[in-house]
């Protein structure tokens, strides 16, 4: 725990057998109370590895529900277990678990209710091997998003995120997409709800075993991001009334 707050790490897993143990071993278990893994119908032995290394809470989707659907299962379970600080960490070892204490500290001290691990602050993205076309797309999308949602982040596309319980209780994340755009819908809801977001510099690694989406999925994702950002803009202007912005207050 951190000052009486229960800390839970959630791992959205898909074919993560080769990198799961390395990721799990670097989680700071002295401050993390629970680890939850959700296997999204992997084709490898992710479940067997998770059991072998001792992950206490293992969820499994019998059919693939997508990246967003995986996170929904994890956040709902974390809430059921009484989590006060919830960190979403990819089990593919692209993001270092060693930043968890910093993220927990920021939320636990009441500085920010949301903390993102940013690959763009500093030179982490390109130094870690991010393809140039993804870096350029990231910068263009982020610039557009900052303008449309009236916020300022270094990037909206990191998969390393931590939340206070209040945030997850307030935003209707279960209304979001089951696909990759879930992450952006969630940040849009958080900003719309008025929560402040902190960022920490995060080194990242791109390698063969790390998960990544191909060019066609990247294009689909980019179009989805623009849809979310314009939806946010129109919602704030009172021109639409989208269900995903109906906050739990």
Look over the chain and give the mean of its residue pLDDT values, rounded to a whole number. Answer: 93
Q: With CA atoms as reference, report the closest residue to 8 among 56, 72, 66, 68.
A: 56
Residues 135 and 248: their CA atoms lie apart, in Å, by: 35
Contact 162, 215 (CB under 8 A): no
Q: Which of 28-32, 85-89, 200-204, 236-240 has the lowest mean pLDDT?
A: 200-204
The burial of 220, by beta-carbon neighbours within 10 Å (0-12 exposed, 13-18 middle, 19 or more buried), is given as middle
The rounded distance, in Å, linking the Cα atoms of 30 and 32 is 6
Q: Residue 209: which pLDDT band, with cuts at 50, 70 and 90?
A: low
pLDDT for position 124:
66
Confidence of residue 25 (pLDDT cuts 50, 70, 90): very high
| Beta strand ranges found along 24-180 (DSSP E) | 34-39, 57-60, 85-88, 114-118, 161-164
Domain ranges for the chain, please list them: 7-244
149 CB burial (10 A radius; 0-12, 13-18, 19+): buried
How far is 163 from 107, CA to CA, in rounded Å? Answer: 7
Instruction: Report whether pLDDT(155) > 60.
Output: yes
Is residue 51 scored above 90 in pLDDT? yes
- Distance between CA atoms of residues 12 and 72, nearest Å: 10
CA 55 – CA 149 distance, rounded (Å): 38
Using CA atoms, how far apart are residues 172 and 232, in angstroms rounded to an integer? Answer: 14
- Give 207's pLDDT tier (boundaries 50, 70, 90): low
- Residue entry with tokens 């997409």: 177
Residue corresponding to tokens 């791992």: 11
CATH class of 7-244: alpha beta
Structure tokens at 2: 């951190």
First to last CA, the chain: 27
Cα–Cα dist 117/133, whole Å: 21
Cβ atoms within 10 Å of 81's Cβ, excluding its own? 15
């Amino acid at each position: 725990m951190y000052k009486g707050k229960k800390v839970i790490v959630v791992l959205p897993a898909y074919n993560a057998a080769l990198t799961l143990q390395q990721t799990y071993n670097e989680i700071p278990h002295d401050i993390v109370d629970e680890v939850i893994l959700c296997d999204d119908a992997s084709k490898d032995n992710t479940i067997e590895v998770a059991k072998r290394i001792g992950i206490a809470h293992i969820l499994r989707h019998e059919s693939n529900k997508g990246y967003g659907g995986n996170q929904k299962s994890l956040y709902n379970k974390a809430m059921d277990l009484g989590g006060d600080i919830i960190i979403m960490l990819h089990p593919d070892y692209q993001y270092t678990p060693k930043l968890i204490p910093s993220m927990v500290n920021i939320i636990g001290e009441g500085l920010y209710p949301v903390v993102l691990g940013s690959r763009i602050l500093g030179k982490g993205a390109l130094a870690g091997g991010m393809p140039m076309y993804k870096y350029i797309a990231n910068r263009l999308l982020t610039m557009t998003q900052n303008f449309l949602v009236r916020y300022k982040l270094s990037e909206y596309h990191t998969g390393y995120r931590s939340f206070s319980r209040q945030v997850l209780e307030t935003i209707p994340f279960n209304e979001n997409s089951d696909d990759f755009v879930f992450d952006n819908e969630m940040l849009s809801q958080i900003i719309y709800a008025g929560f402040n977001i902190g960022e920490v510099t995060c080194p990242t690694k791109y390698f063969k075993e790390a998960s990544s989406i191909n060019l066609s999925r990247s294009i689909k994702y980019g179009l989805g991001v623009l849809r979310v950002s314009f939806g946010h803009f129109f919602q704030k202007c009172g021109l639409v009334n989208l269900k995903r912005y109906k906050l739990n207050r």
